[in-house]
Homo-oligomer: A and B are copies of this chain.
Amino acid sequence: MTKTKATFMSGVPELLILSLLAREEMYGYQLVRAIRVVSNEAFSLAEGVVYPALHALEEKRLIKAKEREHEGRIRIYYALTSKGKTRLGELTSTWARVCGGVAAVLNGEGVAHG
């Protein structure tokens, strides 16, 4: 069927995660719920998406992990590094450019001649 379900999502998980972590430290499971809630149900990223993304971001030094105990259970909190803040800025502006470009085409007035 080639049902394309992943439309428009490339780079979005990274942007969402960095954006949420910019406000406060969070652990993976918390991020999964936060993404669903804060996006008003627009996104529902599974753990299988979020955890690998976190590991990739950590490897790129965009976020930093700190294990912390909570009620006898270990949670891995992630915080943005300064490199991560820079990256978030880049992603945000790229996102704005893409949004603007798409809007320009969708609402475009005239089109070039044949």
- Give A12 to B105 CA distance when docked, in angstroms: 11
Among residues of B, the one whose C-beta sits closest to the C-beta of A56 is: B2
Instruction: Please report the total number of A residues contacting B with Cβ < 8 Å.
Output: 47
Query: Is A40 in contact with B104, judged by CB distance below 8 angstroms?
Result: yes
Interface pick from A47-55, A78-86, A90-98: A90-98
Decide: A105 near B30, CB < 8 A? Known: A11-B7, A95-B8.
no
CB-based nearest B residue for A42: B101
B34→A101 contact, CB < 8 A: no
Q: Are the C-beta atoms of A112 and B8 separated by less than 8 Å?
A: no
Interface residues of A in 24-83 (CB under 8 A from B): 24, 26-27, 30, 33-35, 37-40, 42-43, 60, 70
Binding site for B on A (CB under 8 A): 2, 4, 6-12, 14-16, 19-20, 23-24, 26-27, 30, 33-35, 37-40, 42-43, 60, 70, 91-92, 94-95, 97-102, 104-106, 108, 111-112, 114
Q: A19-B106, A38-B108, A39-B102 are in contact. List 20 more A-B contacts (CB 8 A).
A: A2-B60, A6-B11, A7-B10, A7-B94, A8-B11, A8-B12, A8-B94, A9-B98, A15-B105, A16-B105, A33-B112, A34-B112, A37-B112, A38-B104, A38-B105, A40-B100, A42-B97, A92-B106, A95-B102, A95-B106
